[in-house]
Structure 1
């Protein structure tokens, strides 16, 4: 009798765990309805794997089908971003959240020169690391800096002439139109806020408002403070017909948890490699992006 009761409680507990995991996966697709959906989407892979493992238990056919569908939705919208590399493109972009207290300016400048990047997107440009812009003025003389606070400037530095530029009305983006060998391309340096309950959705909308006024190909690079499959990032991709450069990799560690916060998006995607911290708390992203699909 005791064994039967324990088995019943086990099945009830397992059902609750699997039900919550499945609910979490689908809630993570509801970011368009409420920003909490984007926050939950950060756990999509883990929750999808729980659902996949749940299919191995002796449960009803309907349960297995539902869990299998949920696992497929979770994993097929995330895991492909980790595999392989997109095709190299025409423009090289180096994105870096400098960290506002970073004082290793010489090391960062040397790495950016060595990378050969044509365009550099910077976040957390502060009074402390501002000398980096002057240090790169010989190789990247065309520079656009947007100040949102003393610690949270964002900037675009380019080897090619900047013919137009703008800033969002709140922290979000510095965007510059670059004359790339006779072809005009907008490059945006993005720094969104943390997900709900913080204001990621608001800063994402500020970026989207800027993108709505641009014509021609757009490249977005920076610290999105959220994963590339979140709704806020997907909306930005749709607004400018972009896709992520691959593969994505963790660029930030939150108490030992790897987070995929920094990425680059372009019309044809591209290939991405990753650079050392160099005094920052974020790795840099070096992407060769394609300006057309």
Structure 2
């Protein structure tokens, strides 16, 4: 411990490492006050919230210079972002699965450029799901999914580039206008053995990170508001939302949806469940959410296929 006293220039352990301590406090502020980071310039707030869990990596990075500088001030300052991070995300690190459920659902952006539709069909069938929602359906690949899934899922509906396959009867299919000019969302009623469930399938507009304009999300945000309004007006009590929302549960811009629905991953998952990009998942932008008393008992991601997304799955108790 004597090496933690004064250094050759006379600085004490409390005076050294002030820059590291300042960066630690900045990290803590960004974690704890992320909702106050404005979106007025390049939508920086939404960009931060998309990758918010990764901000925790600043702690071990800053720990190295704090130890090298033998700075008690920096080490104490690092406790703050550590505690805030664990308060926000520590619960995701434990397995919250709650036993068996009544049915399993899968959502997957199969990717328009997917060249292995057969592999994707096998992945979906092997998942054991009773309800499957797909996004980015088009042309010949769509026909491949319809043919390949027909034996396992006798009921299906496709609207625009999104579709729903089910072992249970589907009815009441209606397009949801999410302000895009073409169809990327619809609502259907699925008659599970336990009772009816309103299922929304959606693919919100993509977001882009540009040198000019920053994080462009305006169209995605308008679509999120429209989808949230439709779900809020739903007459059935039990509701599921399956889809690629191009945003995470932390992103304030998805509040019209997330404020009224529960994430399966947050309630019954094990880990963060990152789904994109498939090669090195960094964010969970593919979501399974519910409201009205549907209880998630398990949530997970599936293995890789020919898509740039990982499929997400959840099991529910009615």
Q: Distance in 2 between matches of 1:253 and 1:241?
A: 23
Q: Corresponding residue for 2:4?
A: none
Rg comparison, structure with higher value? 2
Of the three residues 238, 241, 262, the one matched with 2:286 is: 262
Q: Distance in 1 between matches of 2:224 and 2:316?
A: 22
Are the counterparts in 2 of residues 30 and 38 from structure 1 also a CA contact under 8 Å? no
- 1:158-177 equivalence runs, <5 A: 158-170=166-178, 173-177=185-189
- 1:69-108 equivalence runs, <5 A: 70-87=81-98, 88-108=100-120
* TM-score under structure 1 length normalisation: 0.79
1:190 to 2:213 alignment? no
**4+ residue runs over 6 A deviation:** 7-10, 31-34, 52-56
State the superposition RMSD in angstroms. Answer: 3.5
Of the three residues 228, 237, 252, the one matched with 2:276 is: 252
- 1:268-279 equivalence runs, <5 A: 268-279=295-306
Q: Distance in 1 between matches of 2:90 and 2:252?
A: 16
1:19-75 Cα distance to aligned partner (Å, 9 max, x none): 4312321342348987542321234334345368679852299x74xx655543333
Shift of 1:130: 0.7
Shift of 1:185: 0.6
Q: Structure 1: which 5+ runs fail to align? A: 148-152
1:210 to 2:230 alignment? yes
* TM-score under structure 2 length normalisation: 0.74
1:142-194 Cα distance to aligned partner (Å, 9 max, x none): 222232xxxxx122211111221233323563321111115111222232333
Q: Secondary structure at the match of 1:40?
A: helix
Shift of 1:94: 1.5
Are the counterparts in 2 of residues 100 and 128 from structure 1 also a CA contact under 8 Å? no
Q: Corresponding residue for 1:288?
A: 315
Paired residues, number: 282
Q: Corresponding residue for 1:221?
A: 242
Shift of 1:141: 3.0
Q: Secondary structure at the match of 2:124?
A: helix
